[in-house]
Amino acid sequence: MTIRTFGGFCLLCLLFLLVPLRASAAGDEAVYNEAAKLLTSRSFDEKEQAIRLLADNNHPQTKQLMTLLMESRLYFNKKDDGLYQIDDYETDKPAISLLNNEPVAIEKKRDFKKITLNNQLRSLVRQIQAEIGLKSPDLSRRLAAVREMLGSMDEDALALIRKAYAKEDSATVREVMQIAIAIGELPAADEARARDAVATLAGSLEPDARNALTQFAGSTDNAALKAAAEKALAEIEQRARFYGGVETLYFGLSLGSVLVLAGIGLAITFGVMGVINMAHGELIMLGAYTTYVIQQLMPNHIGLSLIVAIPCAFLVSALVGIAIERGVIRFLYGRPLETLLATFGISLVLQQAVRTIFSPLNRSVATPEWMSGLIEINPVLSLTTSRLYIIAFCLLVFFALLLVLKRTSLGLQVRAVSQNRAMARAMGVRSEWVDALTFGLGSGVAGVAGVALSQLTNVGPNLGQSYIIDSFMVVVFGGVGNLWGTLVAGLSLGVANKVLEPWAGAVLAKILVLVFIILFIQKRPRGLFPQRGRAAEG
């Protein structure tokens, strides 16, 4: 075969491939034009014809048109009868042509008219949307389509679900489809089918399943079916309460993680050095503001900026802490009242400095995409991703700090000074530098806590004041200077707060926790895990 013959053969094959594509495009254009003409009619019957025409021919714009119709964003231009998407129906706002996606400015509002639907057409559009969703290759879209149909199961929807169920290969989607079929069959005259439907719904936590059982129990005249439905509802309520408790525990652990992060630095300075540092909250605040500044310097890399902010916040707060210790605290050792007053004054200075530099207004720190969203365990339990990261971050900081104190020379010297300062100095330990580095370490951890808090609340000059009291409560309850005690105390107080809040309210819950700690300290003055050595003797 010559080159010319081979080239001609390839050209012929290409033409055979292009002919069906051009024919398909021409067919889609004809369907679109016909549907557009019918949609602009005042007759709802003709609009129904247009909707069915698009669905029956699987037109590529069917999904877009159905969405615009349901959201009342589909208009037609009286001058050219073209279809347009209008998100803001005001003069000079854009109207996007669905034919070529070209925007056109709205000169006169009366030139465009909204395409309206009645209830019957809305039901038809929902059914078509569900059918499109059920055919989607994306599992999450198929699952969402089935769940959207749960609240309005009629004969057409039931037939559609049954047809899709036979072809579905995902166990998760099939399970929700079974719930949908059971809801559709629940009002059946056949007692056996209704009983099977009740049994199926009894194992579901879907809100629509619970609603369907409630309506059925209140409307059926069959005593046996009524009892079965009520029993199923009781089982569902029991499971829902259990998962509600799990959610409360999760929220409590996330709050407790924040308390641990806020208090763990104070546990070092207060426990090892005996310094009542009232400026600890402001060191947390400095960490939060460092996060804000880093994010402003890296506006296009929000996720990376948060990671970079962790060591930066540690260094900033640690250096400020060392400056406070070298400049003020070292002259006041053994005089706790004076350290309290001095650090309180320092906290006011730091607050005013921040107000001068950043203004008194709160600053918002953006949350990275990988920290956003929910992890859905089941229909009644969803875990916030950001809270999960906070819990993991708390444990990471805790074990890193524990490693420093147990496996490094600084940690060895810190423990030596905390247990017997005179003996440590006799062994050659420079206690004054240990004090400075210890105070810097505790302050740096406070700065790291500020990074975490910046993801939960706005950053402002008064940020630290919200956590200073809680930090002291955690340290005293857990045992002064004991890191494990701080961890257990922080998590316990967080869970206790969240357990009490539903029936006592947020303020009263805090008061009750405070009363409990006061009574507990009366019995165990040294806390859950008493510290040994100089701090305990003092």
Convert the pLDDT of each residue in 157-171 to its tens digit.
788 888 888 888 888
**CATH topology for 243-531?**
ABC transporter involved in vitamin B12 uptake, BtuC (1.10.3470)
Q: How confident is the model at residue 263, as a pLDDT?
A: 87
Q: Are 440 and 315 in contact (CB under 8 A)?
A: no
- pLDDT value for 285: 93
Predicted confidence at residue 5, as pLDDT, reads: 53
The vertex-475 CA angle with 473 and 479, nearest 5°, equals 120
User: What percent of the chain shows pLDDT beyond 90?
Assistant: 17
User: For residue range 265-290, what is the model confidence (pLDDT) as tens digits?
Assistant: 888 887 667 788 889 889 999 999 99
Segments making up each domain of the chain, as ranges: 27-135, 142-221, 243-531
pLDDT at 537: 47
Amino acid at site 50: A
Nearest to 432 by CA among 329, 300, 347: 329
Distance CA 398, CA 492 (A): 16
Comparing 415 with 7, which gets the higher pLDDT?
415
Model confidence pLDDT, tens digit, residues 169-195: 888 888 888 888 888 888 766 778 888
Query: What is the mean predicted confidence (pLDDT) over 59-63?
Result: 76
Greatest alpha-carbon span in the chain: 103
CB neighbourhood size of 505 (10 A): 12
Three-state DSSP class for residue 457:
coil
pLDDT of amino acid 536? 47
Is the pLDDT at 467 greater than 90? The verdict is no
Nearest to 142 by CA among 130, 154, 125: 130
Alpha-carbon torsion 21, 24, 30, 36, what sign?
negative
d(CA 203, CA 346): 59
